[in-house]
Chain A
Amino acid sequence: MTDKLTGLLTRKSFFEEALKIKSDIKKCSVVVMKIAHFKNVNDGLGDELGDKVIVQIAKRLKQTFINVRLIGRMSGGNFSLLFEELSSQELEHEILRLRDFVERPLLLKREVIVLNVNIGVVDERNQLDNISEMIHAAEVALHNAMSSRVKISYFDSAMKLEAQLSHQLENALRVSLTKQATEIHRAIHSQEFFLVFQPIMNIKYGYPSAFEALLRWNHPEKGIISPATFIPIAEQIGVMELLGRWVLRRACKEAADWPNNSKFRSPKISVNISPMQLRNRAAIVETVKSALEESGLEADRLKLEITESQEISHEMIETVHALKRLGCWVAIDDFGTGYSSLMELNTLPVDYVKLDRSFIKSIGGSDEKKERQSLNMIRAVVSLIDVFNLIPIVEGVETSYQLTTCTDAGINLVQGFYFSKPLDEKAVQKFLLQKLEIK
């Protein structure tokens, strides 16, 4: 199957065609290339011109690399090339040509466009077991190039474990999810996926204001796998929406059963929404709506956490408005790590701002200068948050010294191991009943 826009192989067919290669894979090299900040190119020039850029680049690849075995468009601005029988010098030459030809200026609709690329390479020296592992390895090298801010990165043995893990996990996750996609409940009953809940304490009252729902995957063979590992894969293979829907429904259902008394209302449930889920407005609004209806949870007990690691677009603002109209709360997660300034943040109708854990980490550490800087940062950010009528939350609080720092800075809501690690469903009930008895 070919990509409609460019006529190149799609990601799926690139894998399929690569698997058909009969010759010795030790003579194959895979090169993956990503147009840097392609989303910005698209946003700046419009989708139509963005598409023309992709078409032109695909043409350049086809015309420039006559001896390549396979060329695929893996997604948006990502392309893959598979070469056979090249010596190291020949491969290096081809990679430099790739960079050179793609970065040459484009003249389209009166615009001169100059692209930048990052490239990941895996060659025959890496001795990987199969071709699809090689493609993943090249993608790992590409991520390495991007995170180390270099143009070209060659896969090496240090990255090998990561690549194998990513490959195995993708397969395992794909199997788990495709087998059970139609009845995702089975996955839940077999408890492969489960939620844990970490309290967000209101230190003024000594009672949890909310619990954050955190997804875990208990793989039958590999044990507990961190969401940082499997969520990117779930997004890549297109099952994040399914998984996200399950998390929301499960979290709301659980929170609906939490105890309360005349003095304290049951805590809110805080659920993370991935940038990908947020992109499909109709789907996320429907998911939240039905999770609330099914569970009977009052809308104002649901808080949605969205990350700050994406640029705030008009679409995003509209989506957040639509979610707020359902009656739930919205928090910005990991604030201080992403793109947005507080001024920009003010364009989003959010209620809470969760400071990234890096803010609190150096409080009480050995580096006094860093501690002073962090403290000033916390105070400055909290006073600005206050100007915008937002509520700050600090996560990652582990010591009483850090807690005092928060109290002194006027922060009431804190989360971290100092109060509790993430708890399973039963432990949450116990935790709440204990707090209610004491109060």
Chain B
Amino acid sequence: MELFHIAYISKSSIFGSVGDIQKEVRKILESAKKNNPAIGVTGALLYSGGYFCQVIEGSEEALEELFEIIQLDARHSDITVLHFEPLIDRNFADWSMALAGIEDKARFNLDGLLGSKDEIQIKEAGASIVSTLDELIRQHQDLVK
């Protein structure tokens, strides 16, 4: 099976206290953990200062279908795709959807990236976000598994 991964950032539409945000992010993860194994999708999600960063990995068909479901989710808006590329080995093979963290302050300058037309900037940001998510997950492995 040919593998692909897609990375995107979006603005969160979840409002309320930190507790409310945590609750909603947990819901997203639960539903991912329930549905992703059946379609062979793995990935990671980071909530960072009002933004989501997500990477999902899987077959072309599975990503097409799941990505559309994600698009219809009202819990976020202003979605910018950082990359959609073929993949040799999964970065998050052990995770149906790993949580890389819920952070109060934005880790990246995401505002400048949203809707950006600068392809190089977007690609670089995509690669950097994937590696950051990977690193975060390794750091917190015990917490997120």
Contact = CB atoms under 8 A, between A and B. Distances in A.
A105 B77 contact: no
A63 B79 CA distance: 18
Nearest to A97: B74
Given A60-B72, A63-B72, A110-B84, A105 B63 contact: no
A346 B25 CA distance: 59
Contacts of B84: 107, 110, 112
B6 A104 contact: no
B81 interface: yes
A60 B71 contact: yes
Contacts of A59: 68
B71 A104 contact: yes
Contacts of B51: none
Given A105-B8, A107-B6, A64 B72 contact: yes
Contacts of A112: 6, 81, 84
Contact of A107 (B68, B72, B78): B68
A48 to B, nearest CB: 15
Task: Report the interface size class on chain B.
Answer: 10 to 19
Interface string A50-86: 0000001001100110000000000000000000000
A114 B67 CA distance: 13
Nearest to B73: A104
Interface in A102-126: 104-110, 112, 114
Given A110-B60, A110-B84, A112-B84, A105 B79 contact: yes
A108 B64 contact: yes
Interface string B88-127: 0000000000000000000000000000000000000000
B80 to A, nearest CB: 8
A101 interface: yes
Contacts of B8: 105
A380 B72 CA distance: 53
Of A59, A109, A114, the most chain B CB neighbours within 10 A belong to A114
Interface in B37-79: 60, 63-64, 67-68, 71-72, 77-79
Contacts of B81: 105, 107, 112, 114
A114 B81 CA distance: 9
A63 B68 CA distance: 11
A116 to B, nearest CB: 11
Nearest to B83: A112
B82 to A, nearest CB: 10
A358 B78 CA distance: 41
Nearest to A107: B67
Contact of A101 (B4, B71, B80): B71
A426 to B, nearest CB: 60
Contacts of B80: 105
Interface string B1-15: 000101010000000
Contacts of B78: 100
Given A63-B72, A64-B72, A112-B84, A107 B64 contact: yes
Interface in B18-35: none
Given A63-B72, A112-B84, A104 B64 contact: no
B41 to A, nearest CB: 13
Contacts of B77: 100
A35 B63 CA distance: 24
Contacts of A60: 71-72
A37 to B, nearest CB: 15
B79 A107 contact: no
B60 A104 contact: no
Interface in A381-427: none
Nearest to A59: B68
Nearest to A105: B81
Of A56, A104, A110, the most chain B CB neighbours within 10 A belong to A104
Nearest to B13: A100
Given A110-B84, A112-B84, 12 more contacts: A56-B68, A60-B71, A63-B72, A100-B77, A101-B72, A105-B79, A105-B81, A107-B63, A107-B64, A107-B67, A110-B60, A112-B81
Interface of B: 4, 6, 8, 60, 63-64, 67-68, 71-72, 77-81, 84
7 contacts: A59-B68, A60-B71, A104-B71, A105-B81, A106-B68, A107-B64, A107-B67
Closest 4 CB pairs of A and B: A107-B67, A104-B71, A112-B81, A105-B81
